[in-house]
Structure 1
Amino acid sequence: MSHPNNKVSSSSVDNQEIELIVGNSSSNFSGVTSTMLQVTSLQKHMINLRIMGKHFVPDPSMTITFWEVAKMCRRPLSNGKWRIFHARRVDEMIQGVILKYVFRAKIKLVFSSAAQRKRSASTVWLSNKMDAVIAMSNRSAKYLNKPPAKINLHGVQIDNYTPAENKQEAWQALGYGGKYGIGILGRVREQKGVHLFVEACIKVLPKYPDVNAVVVGAISSSNQEFVNELKEKISKAGLTDRIVFTGELPFEQIPRIFSALSLVSALSYNEGFGLTVPEAMSAGAAVLATQAGAWEDIIRPGVDGYIVPTKDQQAVTEKMDLLLSDMDKLAEMGKAGREHVVKNFKVEDEARNLVEFFRTLQ
């Protein structure tokens, strides 16, 4: 996929021709980092870009330093247009503001906002210094101090998250028992709603002897007691072999887990966006999710899954029971979800939509 201008960023492109600078300020790998790397790997074929900061960037030639940006942006592009600086974090907004208002860089500042919480006064001030703010979901747009210039949902690498040809065989190959698998993935803690999933499984799984469950994710020392309490409840229910905590698995194994699951739950209290849901749908799993992140923008209730209120144990249990009561319908929901993501939530679309929007600002 390429932009009509057919520009390709590479180490051979002179800095003076760089049109897009992308923030990369965090030394901790996160969902924001993952999204940035996925999107820029596609955008570099659409627009000349550099990433400001070397953290986790596989090709060092694609990076640039703060001081190099400050020097490069003293003058606009050769065609007179200003460059775009794209921030995804608050400290990247700070970097952009310093570049533009202290070093007088000829740049347009864009901030992508995913957070769903009341903004601090300093964040509001920084946002007001942006030339444009993009919301990552309709829900996150409600927390901005003024309407966003654009709403642009994240996309999924659909070729990485594909449905198994036979979910039963794929699940049984993982070795967790049962004919069908359901699961919840992510850091194992209360805020992720893991206890809601486990409590629902304890109530529902005895009705469905062919279904086993997995909790996939890292368990920190601070959450070990939380997990021990859940394991004790599971043991008392006689379901130790049917509700399994896998611990943290290598990242490259996650698509295989998704593709084998018939149902994925995402029950967080809050999320910035929540890629778990579209990734699960891309892999052909039905989804049960809370009113967090962008999930209400993605899930079509009764078609590819269900949405429940946050922290609502009864709703989670009832919907899990409903979903597991008809495995054929559950499989159809998974197929519908895959088609929905392929049509509407590809990472290629996210990358292209951003570049097209950046062009309107120049």
Structure 2
Amino acid sequence: MRIGIVCPYSWDVPGGVQFHVRDLAEHLIRQGHTVSVLAPADDDTPLPPYAVSAGRAVPVPYNGSVARLNFGFLSAARVRRWVHEGDFDVLHVHEPAAPSLALLTCWAARGPIVATFHTSNPRSRAMAAAYPILQPALEKISARIAVSEYARRTLVEHLGGDAVVIPNGVDVEFFASAEPKAEWQGRTIGFIGRIDEPRKGLPVLMRALPAVLAEHPDARLLVAGRGDEKEAVADLPAAMRGRVEFLGMISDEDKARLLRSVDLYVAPNTGGESFGIILVEAMSAGAPVLASDLDAFAQVLDGGAAGELFPNEDAEALAAAANRLLADPGRLAELRERGSSHVRRFDWSTVGADVLAVYETVTDGAGAVAPDERAGLLGRLGFARD
């Protein structure tokens, strides 16, 4: 099958959607399909052989963050050329409700389109207001996927229709087989995310850290991600700042090794999360997880069975939970075991097969399915209707 995938966000800025698109493309290629990915990218960004640059992205406020998107007349021309030259059996666009390459692709495409919606933002006035503009493009979508129930609700509430829920995928074995790094072991707490993006929650973790270090003075916090390191520790007592080690941007291999090394992974995110891929990666690596009780995080952690939850933005509760876990090796081992078992449902062997089934449905039709089953299938996939 010839598959075209459109990533709306700049390829050179790490993010969950970019990783999802990359991993999906590579999984499909391993399965023998021909895949091309169109994404914004700076001129000097190294791209894998299956990726095509649509030009430089510009920062746009979106969903409580700043997204680097590509949109405009020049971008539209590049999209049309890529679609024409690719002669794809199916196009898979991500976040078509954003002003991005995905929306331009919907306008340009003529064949089957699958769309994945990642955003979870039930109070999005902008999305609701933009619906009349988006409607002609969205009506061309053949099937819709949401990465979580919360992303599906956003879609239903603001854009209508429905979607089948297929979570983000992870190569579980890649994380499970990583070698721990000695210097990252020994009563360590891990955090991975953009340091200067408040919704990733590092300020909440920093407010909790003094209480953790008071009870566990030998503990360390390892922080991986880009941002202002001095500002991040500015409110910590000077004597404690040495217990925070900033690793900067790290490779995928080092991310896996970090998650394999830490005693506890903390996800203190405060909102705007529709899934929580880092939680899946941490569980894959066998890291016990402590996360804020966002709806999406609770769903990924099986309601708290595969990882512990604390009240969102409550630094005291975070500290109390971290102290309790760090003092209880038995509970940490239990979380490792439960997380490692639970995470198998997110492996690409399962997720990729589900996505491919959607592709095959929109390209082949549902002729082999009984009429009553066909209607139910179309409804679950959120098919556009004439």
> Does the aligned pair in 2 maintain the 1:274–1:293 contact within 8 Å?
no
List runs of 5+ in structure 2 lacking aligned partners.
54-77, 364-386
1:299 is matched with 301
> Deviation at 1:47?
6.3
When residues 339 and 163 of structure 1 are mapped into structure 2, their CA distance, relative to the original with a 3 A threshold, is farther
When residues 311 and 346 of structure 1 are mapped into structure 2, their CA distance, relative to the original with a 3 A threshold, is same
> Does the aligned pair in 2 maintain the 1:110–1:130 contact within 8 Å?
yes
For residue 254 of structure 1, what is the amino acid of its counterpart?
K
1:8 is matched with none
1:10 is matched with none
1:326 is matched with 328
1:108 is matched with 112
1:14 is matched with none
> Deviation at 1:355?
0.5
> Deviation at 1:328?
2.2
1:43 is matched with 28
1:152 is matched with 166
1:7 is matched with none
Q: Secondary structure in 2 aligned to 1:160?
A: helix
> For 1:89, which of 87, 95, 104 is the aligned residue?
95
Query: Equivalents in 1 of 2:115, 2:165: separation in Å?
Result: 12
Q: How many residues matched?
A: 317
> Deviation at 1:147?
5.0
Q: Deviations over 1:134-156 (max 9, x none)?
A: 11011111111335321000111
Written as runs of structure 1 = structure 2, the 5 A alignment for 1:184-199 is 184-189=191-196, 190-199=198-207
Query: Equivalents in 1 of 2:191, 2:163: separation in Å?
Result: 34
Query: Equivalents in 2 of 1:201, 1:191: separation in Å?
Result: 18
When residues 44 and 60 of structure 1 are mapped into structure 2, their CA distance, relative to the original with a 3 A threshold, is closer
> For 2:176, which of 155, 162, 170 is the aligned residue?
162
Q: Deviations over 1:117-162 (max 9, x none)?
A: 2224335524344222211011111111335321000111122212
Q: Deviations over 1:293-344 (max 9, x none)?
A: 7322221355332223332223322322332231221122112211211x21
> For 2:188, which of 174, 181, 185 is the aligned residue?
181
Query: Equivalents in 1 of 2:276, 2:30: separation in Å?
Result: 26
Query: Equivalents in 1 of 2:230, 2:216: separation in Å?
Result: 29
Query: Equivalents in 2 of 1:47, 1:141: separation in Å?
Result: 30
TM-score, normalised with respect to structure 2: 0.73
Q: Secondary structure in 2 aligned to 1:143?
A: helix
List runs of 5+ in structure 1 lacking aligned partners.
1-17, 78-82
> For 1:127, which of 138, 142, 158 is the aligned residue?
138
When residues 326 and 85 of structure 1 are mapped into structure 2, their CA distance, relative to the original with a 3 A threshold, is same
> Does the aligned pair in 2 maintain the 1:204–1:320 contact within 8 Å?
yes
Q: Deviations over 1:68-108 (max 9, x none)?
A: 533665xxx9xxxxx321101332332332223xxxx2x12
> Does the aligned pair in 2 maintain the 1:22–1:87 contact within 8 Å?
yes
2:266 is matched with 265
Is 1:219 paired with 2:248?
no
Q: Secondary structure in 1 aligned to 2:240?
A: coil
For residue 49 of structure 1, what is the amino acid of its counterpart?
T
Query: Equivalents in 2 of 1:43, 1:344: separation in Å?
Result: 18
Runs of 4+ displaced beyond 4 Å? 54-57, 60-65
> For 2:49, which of 59, 70, 90 is the aligned residue?
59
Query: What percent identity do the matched residue pairs reach?
Result: 22
> Does the aligned pair in 2 maintain the 1:52–1:65 contact within 8 Å?
no
Query: Equivalents in 2 of 1:309, 1:110: separation in Å?
Result: 36
> Deviation at 1:113?
0.7
Query: Equivalents in 2 of 1:139, 1:27: separation in Å?
Result: 24
> Does the aligned pair in 2 maintain the 1:40–1:351 contact within 8 Å?
no
Query: Equivalents in 2 of 1:157, 1:306: separation in Å?
Result: 23
Compute the RMSD of aligned alpha carbons: 2.9
